[in-house]
Structure 1
């Protein structure tokens, strides 16, 4: 069941310095909330930064698993009453993610900027913070669409800005921040490596992450604004994106601390099983089982399917669950995958922000679109190999599998479908980004809820979910600030497409869209 009394990470207990608040709305009384007269007024930068970069994983089950993970069909629900797999919206769940960003993450970012931003000694810190803030805005944009962005921070209510305007600003911010970092300046603040949970204060890696994020956002708008997308993608690649799995951006969690992730949901709570959509892909790409499959998944020893030659998942979107739902494939308890096992010491697991394999696939798509040089097939193969390496597949097994992957062929749409399908597998378990790719390209082939869209959902029957709606609190406190076409609960539907999602999946013909090129 939902674990509403989660432990707080031991490494962030020291950070409670008056900047973690409960808010009436995302922006109301922001400055007043952001000042606690009885608290320490100047926390150490690393302490607050530590908390900022863990914000995306707060309440993972309610923020991600019950929404993006199910929508991307990496996982399927096995708990009666959890209808988010059938596109129902539960405000008490989804609001936790909205609140975590605006009331915790963004508020803490603004605290660091206010305390240290005017001191040149902290220039590098401010640029790293800027890169991270952009990645967080991008995460929220992918869920909701238009957001209160440009004036956010001081007024009691501010207007929601268009996605296009926000994306254009994010590109500028990334470019400026990366260029402003000077890793050779000995007179700059140096954060203790233990306080930078992402890169241990390796500023060159932060720059590569910033460029990689720029590339991700460029490809996100590839269909709606291809000219801007091409310009930004080429600039990001030329500036220098991730170079190896050492550049992976992922958030660590500790053995005795934060503990709301896939192991709990899959093994201890029996809330999820692998989606049949995903297990089927483990066997449909070549004549062999994907060598990553058994690293990620297995059956519980108590399952009658334990020891089976193949893995089978649960179909997504049941109203009444099969009695044997928990017998199907789940997270592998004896895995060697670092995302599930951490470092076999203090770190219990890692939750992905951006994988190196994703960055390679982004470059493969840019090449397929003719925006950059290189052979898309070769780059795709590099992406699969990077994923295999990161997961822990033996090199010989990886090579055998990759040698069976067909070269990209056919129309551009056919090639993109094959490319995105391989990217989808390699991006596991990053359900947030897999859901973005499906909405953006309508690949790979996902399924509609097996027992239909819930009658309580704001998604039309036979239609895929396209966004998470704004929380009820937004309508209660700032309805006049919301986008004009979504300023009531009735019009704020979850089948409304975001700006960059230009085509309806129902227009597919012979398994292909006609809208990606």
Structure 2
């Protein structure tokens, strides 16, 4: 962690030095000093953005909207679909003023130097991930020409997705793996330590994720991109060893689930999560439940039996006034259950923020196979995906096999099968709420509930409907409203029930728990 602090210190010096005049810099820079920063310093800081302001950017929005978690603090309005600029508004600012500027600075610094081809390609893959999170949050955003300091038009999500898929194709195929190439090694690449083969696998897998986003809006393009992803150089993530995750330190000031669930007590398992942990397989309880969850009893993690409960229970989403006993009566994250994505067994006591699980990639392939877009047995891939999740979490193999054997089989390309697949994918993606919320908006699966106390009176979401996007921050309205989409260029019209481009299904059409528009 000392290295992370050093990186932040160096980046701080860069920002400070940029405020000085050119003449002052010339007078005060020794002739033998280093005036450039290595790309790995920029890249390391870019990766850490996934966990910056996690409570405000993720936990109070996607994590609640996908209903992995429910809020336990009375007065918090985001669970009832309110927009709070001081919370989620940070995501916009951090992307455009930090992440994007670092990427541009890195590109400008290395120019056309052939020794940095791999480094730039990896940077491009990571930025495609960052951009996809941004457009999947807001919809149309400034993209082409953004980051130059000039006001630019908002681009349509359709055009952004088109460009992201093209950028991924170029970046993945540009990687050389040559010995002369600059590498993000020595611990600065927090995910793959500069391994270019792993970055190609992640790039292809990200391409498959984005391809499946297009399933309902451009099936032909989705099929083409899915096939290209599966057949890309070095293929997809191929095992749990390939999982993309960013480490953080549980004893430091890292705004993650340990703070939300234990230090601040502002979340507990949602009732939706509890229901799905007990209603999917004929064996009953999902064997991942005690790995993921525990009861907090006098500051210690207890199993349901130790705490005197029959199940790992969750609280309903969307209370205005939360029951005062919610902390003790509902399950929370289990930081002591041996699940390596919360607390590792290394000397540094690492925790991890997920970017992409191997199980997700198998579910993506299962859905693509179900639709006939790639070869493979959809049902077998779906079962393999559940097994991969069980293995990753550390479930005993016998218990995992029994749970999977008790799951319904997929029965062809139909809504019932897709609902079953996405519901299991939703479980396996825990705690990646960003991705779970995207899947719900795209397919309207799994079934989740509306806020218990109703949509807030100040929310821009119609009663009886779900939140579909986050509105643009106040600063964007203040500084660049003229370039916003004409239907969303005022606070009043910038609504959070407006569907994204790839979200074509209308939740009001769901009957008997199934949509009529996904297949």
- Shorter chain as denominator, the TM-score bin is over 0.9
Is the deviation greater in 410-419 or in 489-498? 410-419
Structure 1 residue 32 displacement after superposition: 8.9
Equivalents in 2 of 1:174, 1:130: separation in Å? 7
Provide closer, same or farther for how the CA distance between residues 36 and 68 of structure 1 changes in structure 2, counting only shifts above 3 A.
farther
The 8 Å contact of residues 19 and 107 in structure 1, kept in 2 or not, is answered as: no
1:385 to 375, 384, 387: 387
Instruction: Tell me: CA distance 1:480–1:222, structure 2 relative to 1, closer, same or farther (3 Å).
Output: same
Q: Deviations over 1:167-213 (max 9, x none)?
A: 01111100110101011x12211332301101011110000000000
- Of residues 486-495 and 342-351 in structure 1, the stretch that sits farther from structure 2 once superposed is 342-351
CA contact (8 A) 1:19 1:36 kept: no
Partner of 1:116: 110
Tell me the distance in 1 between the aligned counterparts of 2:4 and 2:36.
21
SS of 1:253's equivalent?
A: strand
Q: Does 2:272 match 1:277?
A: yes
Map 1:166-185 to 2 at 5 A: 166-183=160-177, 185=178
- Aligned partner of 2:500 in structure 1 is 498
State the shift of 1:396 in Å: 1.1
Select between 189-198 and 252-261 the one with higher mean Cα deviation: 252-261
1:308-319 aligned at under 5 Å gives the runs 308-319=309-320
Aligned equivalents of 2:323 and 2:443: distance in 1? 32
**C-alpha spacing 1:361/1:68, structure 2 compared with 1 (3 Å):** same
Number of equivalences: 500
User: Structure 1 residue 450: deviation in Å?
Assistant: 0.7
Aligned to 2:221: 228
Measured after TM superposition, the shift of residue 151 of structure 1 is: 1.4
2-side partners of 1:307 and 1:341: how far apart?
25
Between stretches 459-468 and 319-328, larger displacement belongs to 319-328
Please say which of residues 287-296 and 249-258 is displaced more in the overlay.
249-258
CA drift of 1:323 comes to 2.0
Q: 1:37 and 1:277, CA in 2 relative to 1: closer, same or farther beyond 3 A?
A: farther
Task: Report the equivalent of 1:24.
Answer: none
- Equivalent residue of 1:54, what SS? helix
Q: Which residue of 2 aligns with 1:211?
A: 204
Match of 2:308 in 1: 307
1:320 counterpart = 2:321: yes
Aligned 8 A contact 1:218 1:232 in 2: yes
1:397–1:352 Cα change, 3 Å: same
Offset of residue 41 of structure 1: 4.4
Distance 2:280 2:317 in 1: 21
Match of 2:245 in 1: 250
Is the Cα–Cα contact under 8 Å of residues 458 and 494 in structure 1 kept in the other structure? yes
User: Comparing 413-422 with 37-46, which one deviates more in the overlay?
Assistant: 37-46
Counterpart in 1 of 2:478?
Answer: 476
Choose 462-471 or 41-50, whichever is displaced more: 41-50
Number of the residue aligned with 2:292: 296
The change in CA–CA distance for 1:326 and 1:32 in structure 2 (over 3 A counts) is same
- From the superposition, tell whether residues 257 and 45 of structure 1 become closer, same or farther in structure 2 (CA, over 3 Å): farther
In structure 2, the gaps of 5 or more residues are none
Return the alpha-carbon distance in structure 2 between the equivalents of residues 155 and 333 of structure 1.
43
Residues 68-467 of structure 1 aligned to structure 2 (within 5 Å): 68-183=62-177, 185-239=178-232, 240-287=235-282, 288-302=284-298, 306-327=307-328, 328-409=330-411, 412-467=414-469
RMSD of equivalent CA atoms: 2.1
Asked whether the equivalents of residues 218 and 233 of structure 1 are also in contact (C-alpha less than 8 Å), the reply is yes
Shift of 1:265: 0.8
Moved over 6 A (4+): none
CA distance in 1, matches of 2:149, 2:85: 25
CA distance in 2, matches of 1:60, 1:11: 22
- Taking the aligned partners of 1:484 and 1:83, their CA distance within structure 2 comes to 28
| Matches of 2:6 and 2:327, distance apart in 1 | 34
Q: Which residue, out of 54, 57, 72, partners 1:60?
A: 54
Determine the C-alpha separation between the residues in 2 that align with 1:36 and 1:217: 47
* Equivalent residues of 1:252, 1:347 under 8 A apart: no
Does structure 1 conserve the Cα–Cα contact (< 8 Å) formed by 2:250 and 2:343? no
Residue 28 of structure 1 corresponds to: none
Give the stretch that moved more between structures: 292-301 or 402-411: 402-411
Distance 1:197 1:87 in 2: 34
Determine if contact 2:274/2:312 at 8 Å carries over to the other structure.
yes
CA offsets 1:102-159 (integer angstroms, 9 cap, x no match): 1111111111111013211111000000000100000111100011111112252000
2:43 aligned to which of 25, 39, 49:
49
Gaps of 5+ in 1: 1-6, 22-30
